[in-house]
């Protein structure tokens, strides 16, 4: 096929991935750990200025690296509700997901998915809604985040690009770091 290339598995859990790339993500994990752990920070948003800059790759790999630490529970939340990719990177089904829970179609426990990575769970997007900004700024989203804070050591949000849509702003407001 012309013009299309299959993406390589760029997960840090892929042993075939270049050692230096894997170590770079682990270094970033350590830097995040030391810079935010002392402040009690646990909610980190990954965003970018536009699509295709690697925010999902980075959020998945940092979440994976954080989960590799002993006794550390991590959840990765797919909040890019317009162009979701976390579920693809982790090989998960997108539904039921975040939008289903925000629309009161299912409970939070029903949307938390186990991944192939120990200590890493994920919440996929669910269904692409007509009103992402409204859902992400809802009281229900705030309640979900508060509950996740009680159950996980780190909450990593894969958010949409900030220069393209306003959807990331409600998540950024509730985070400890971007």
Distance (Å, whole) CA 104 – CA 139: 12
Distance (Å, whole) CA 161 – CA 68: 27
Q: Which domains does the chain show, CATH number per domain?
A: 19-174 (3.40.50.300)
Query: In whole numbers, what is the pLDDT of the chain averaged over residues?
Result: 85
Mean pLDDT of 59-84: 93
pTM of the model as a whole? 0.82
* Residue 50 confidence class, pLDDT cut points 50, 70, 90: confident
For every residue of 11-61, which 3-state class applies, written as one string?
CCCCCCCCHHHHHHHHHHHHHHHHHHHHHCCCEEEECCCCCCCCHHHHHHH
Per-residue pLDDT tens digits for 105-161: 999 999 999 999 999 999 999 999 999 999 999 999 999 999 999 999 999 999 999
| Exposure b/e, 93-112, CB count within 10 A at least 16 = b | ebbbbbbbbbeeeeeeeebb
């Amino acid at each position: 096929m012309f013009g299309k290339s299959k993406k390589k598995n760029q997960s840090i859990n892929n042993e075939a991935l270049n050692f230096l790339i894997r170590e770079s993500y682990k270094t970033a994990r350590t830097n995040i750990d030391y810079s935010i752990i002392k402040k009690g920070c646990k909610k980190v948003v990954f965003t970018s200025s536009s699509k295709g800059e690697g925010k999902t790759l980075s959020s998945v790999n940092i979440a994976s690296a954080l989960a590799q630490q002993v006794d550390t529970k991590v959840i990765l939340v797919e909040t890019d509700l317009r162009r979701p990719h976390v579920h693809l990177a982790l090989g998960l089904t997108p539904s039921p997901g975040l939008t289903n829970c925000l629309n009161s179609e299912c409970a939070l426990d029903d949307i938390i998915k186990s991944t192939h990575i120990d200590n890493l769970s994920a919440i996929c997007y669910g269904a692409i809604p007509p009103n992402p900004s409204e859902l992400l700024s809802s009281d229900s989203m705030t309640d979900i985040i508060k509950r996740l804070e009680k159950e996980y050591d780190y909450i990593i949000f894969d958010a949409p690009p900030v220069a393209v849509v306003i959807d990331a702003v409600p998540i950024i407001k509730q985070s400890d770091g971007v």
